[in-house]
Chains A and B, each alone.
Chain A
Amino acid sequence: MINSDQIIKQLEQKLGSSTSGVKVEHVGIVEQNHDGVIRASGLSKAMMGEIVEFQKGVQGVILNLDEDSVSIVVLSSDNDIREGDKVKRTEKLLSIEAHDDLLGRVVDPIGTPLDGKLKIKKGKLMPLEKIAAGVIDRSPVDTPLKTGIKAIDAMIPVGRGQRELIIGDRGLGKTAVAIDTIINQRQLQNKKGKKQVICIYTAIGQKQSSISQVVDRLKEENAFDYTIVVAAPASAPAALQYLAPYAASAIGEYFMEKGEDVLIVYDDLTKHAWAYRQLSLVLKRPAGREAYPGDVFYLHSRLLERAVRLNKEKGGGSITALPIIETQAGDISAYIPTNVISITDGQIFLQSDLFNIGVRPAINPGNSVSRVGGAAQTKAIKSVAGKLRLELAQYNSLAAFAQFGSELDESTMKQLERGKRSVEILKQPQYSPLSEALEIISLWSVTNGHLDDVPVEKVGEFEKQLHEYAKAHAKKLIDKLNTGEKLEDQTINELKKIVEDFKKGFKISN
C-alpha cells in the first residue's frame, strides 16, 4: 500500500524533472512584415518547417532559410506583428494532434476545432511532412473501396490504397462523387468481418457555405460519425490552405498505423496549387511555368505518395486518396492536371457534354481509367460488368452513324438499343449510393438483355422499383450478392427469376 510520503516524493521528483537545467531560448527580431510573410533576423539555428512563436502568441512556420534571416509565414489571419518584435523557436516541426475524438469533428490544419464544440483531447503528435512508406512496407491493392456509384464500381473500380483522381470542369459533380463515396461507407458500420473506412474530407479554398452544406449532408445521411473534416476555407490564409492536405494526411496516418482503412478526399488540389503559388511568389522563390514554383509537382507527389496499403507486418491499414482537380473548359492537358494525372493510379473524368444531356454522374468511360482495375473488384461485379465498358464504347461509335438516319441491320439496331439502356442504367441520383447487391442486380439485368423490352425513358423507374422488389422478396439473394463471391449458376437462376417476376408486374402497371 503506497503511503502519502511516497506519493509526495514521486510528485517532487516529477517537479524536479520539469525544472532541472537551464532553459535556452533561441530568438530573432522581426525586420519586415508584408503579405503575411515575416522576415526575421537571428534564429541562426532554426530548422526548415519549424514552428516559431511571436510575442503575442501568434504562431508561424519557417519556409525560407536565408543567409542572415528567415522567412516566416503566419498561421493565423491575426497579424499584428511589428518590426522589432521578438520571435522565438519552439524547436518543433509542424504537427497535428491526432486522436480518436477527431471523428465527427471539423478542424483546421493546425488542429483547432471549427465546429464550436469542446477542444479535442491531446493525442499523438503526427508530423505534417512525412516520408511515405517504402516499397517493402507496402502490399498490393486488392480490396475494393466501394463508392456505391454503378459507373465507377463497374468500370473504374477503386481499391483501398489507391489514388484515383476526380477531374472535370466546375459544377459537374466532382464533390458529389466524393461525398457519395463517403456516404456509402456507412454500410460498413457495425458489420461483422467488415472493416469500417474512416473518411477525411479536406476542404481547400472552398466557400464556407459549401463546407457547411457538405457537413450538414453528411450528418443527414448518418455519415458524419466516421468522418473528419479538415477545413481551410477561402478566407483562411494561404499558409493554412497549403497545409490542409498534409494535415489530413497526418490524421489519416494516425488511423492507418492502428490498422484502419482511411479514405481522404482532397477538394481540391487546384486551389492547393494556387495557394502554394501565392506563398512562393511572396517568398520571392523563382517562378516557373504559369508562375508556379519549380517544385509544384513535388507538392502533390509527396502528398499522394502517402496513400498506401501497408503489409500485414505494418498493421495492414491503408489510405485511399481521392484528389479532385478542376479543369478549365475540359482541358486535361493543362499544367496541374497533367501533373496530378501522372501521379495518380487513374482518373474519373467528368464531362460537361454528358452533364448537359442528363447523364449524371457525367463520367466519360472512354477517358476514365483505373490502373488497379479488376484487382479492386469482387468476382461478382467483375463477372457482371466485364463487358459493359466495351459495349458502351461500341455503342458510342455506332451512335454517330445512327444520327445519319441510314438503314441499319438488326444486330446493329440491337446493339444501339442495348447501349441506350446501358447509359440509362448508369445514371444515378445524388446521395443515393447503392449496395453491391443492388449494383449487381442492375448491371446483370442490362447486360443480359432483360431491359431490352423496357422503354428507355422507363429504365430509371424500372430499376428503382426492381430494387424495392428485390429488397422485399429476395433478402437471402441480396445477402449472398453482398458477399461479392463469384456468381454460381444457382445465384444466376435466382436473379433471373426475381427480374422476370418483377417484369410481369411492371408491364401490367405500365
Chain B
Amino acid sequence: MNKTFLKKLAIASYKNGELDQKTAFKIADRLSKKDLKQYIRIIKASEKAKNIYLTTALGDKNTEKQLKYIFKDKNIIVNQDSSMMLGSRIEINDDIFEMNLKNTLENIIENIDQNND
C-alpha cells in the first residue's frame, strides 16, 4: 500500500477534527505491520501539527494566554522544565523557538569557542 493511500486513510480516520477510535481500529485491523507503522506515523504527525508545545521554566501563564490568543485553532500543551532556569521554549511543528536562559548561556559558550579556536 503506498504512502498516498495511507494518507487518505489517515484523513478518513478523523471526524469533526477529532480522531475517531472506531474508524482508526477498523483501518488498523486491515493493514500489514509495515503499513500500520506508517499509518501510525502519519496520524502522529497530524496530531503533532494540531498541537503547540510550550515548556516554561517557572510555569509562566502569560505566554500560554498569548499563544492561545494567536493560535485559536491549536491545542497548547504546557510542560515545565526548571533546567531552563528562566524563559520558555515553544515547539510548533518542526520549529523550536528557544527563549530561555539555558540556551542563551549555551550560545555564549558556542560563540566563544568559534571565535577563539
Contacts and interface: CB of A to CB of B under 8 A. Distances in A.
Whether chains A and B associate is yes
A19 B96 contact: no
Contacts of A25: 95-96, 98
Interface string A33-63: 0000000011111000000000000000000
Given A23-B103, A41-B45, A68-B3, A18 B96 contact: no
B97 to A, nearest CB: 5
A455 B97 CA distance: 84
A28 B96 CA distance: 10
A19 B98 contact: no
A121 B3 CA distance: 47
A329 interface: no
A22 B108 contact: no
Given A15-B108, A18-B111, A42 B41 contact: no
Interface string B102-116: 011001100100100
Contacts of A44: 93-94
A26 interface: yes
Contacts, number: 43
Interface in A5-33: 15, 18-19, 22-28, 31
A27 B103 CA distance: 16
Given A41-B45, A122-B117, A23 B95 contact: no
Contacts of A31: 41
Contact of A45 (B94, B96, B97, B104): B94
Contact of A27 (B3, B41, B96): B96
Contact of B108 (A19, A28, A41, A67): A19
A26 B94 contact: yes
Nearest to A17: B111
B114 to A, nearest CB: 8
B19 to A, nearest CB: 19
A24 B108 CA distance: 15
Contact of B95 (A19, A26, A67, A121): A26
Interface size range on B against A: 10 to 19
Interface in B12-43: 41
B60 to A, nearest CB: 15
A122 to B, nearest CB: 5
Contact of B98 (A18, A23, A45, A122): A23
Interface string B28-64: 0000000000000100010000000000000000000
Nearest to B98: A23
Interface in B64-116: 93-99, 103-104, 107-108, 111, 114
Nearest to B114: A122
B94 A27 contact: yes
Contacts of B117: 121-122
A15 B112 CA distance: 9
Contacts of B111: 18
B94 A19 contact: no
A15 B105 CA distance: 10
A23 B102 CA distance: 12
A121 B99 CA distance: 32
Contacts of B104: 19
A18 B93 contact: no
Given A15-B108, A18-B107, A24 B97 contact: yes
A43 B95 contact: no
B96 to A, nearest CB: 4
A121 B115 CA distance: 11
Contacts of A19: 104, 107-108
Given A25-B98, A122-B114, 17 more contacts: A15-B108, A18-B111, A23-B98, A23-B107, A24-B95, A24-B96, A26-B94, A28-B94, A31-B41, A41-B41, A41-B45, A42-B94, A43-B94, A44-B94, A67-B3, A121-B117, A122-B117
The 6 A-B pairs at the shortest CB distance, nearest first, are namely A18-B111, A42-B94, A23-B98, A25-B96, A122-B117, A19-B104
Interface of A: 15, 18-19, 22-28, 31, 41-45, 67-68, 121-122
Interface of B: 3, 41, 45, 93-99, 103-104, 107-108, 111, 114, 117
10 contacts: A15-B108, A19-B108, A22-B97, A22-B98, A22-B99, A24-B98, A25-B96, A25-B98, A43-B94, A68-B45
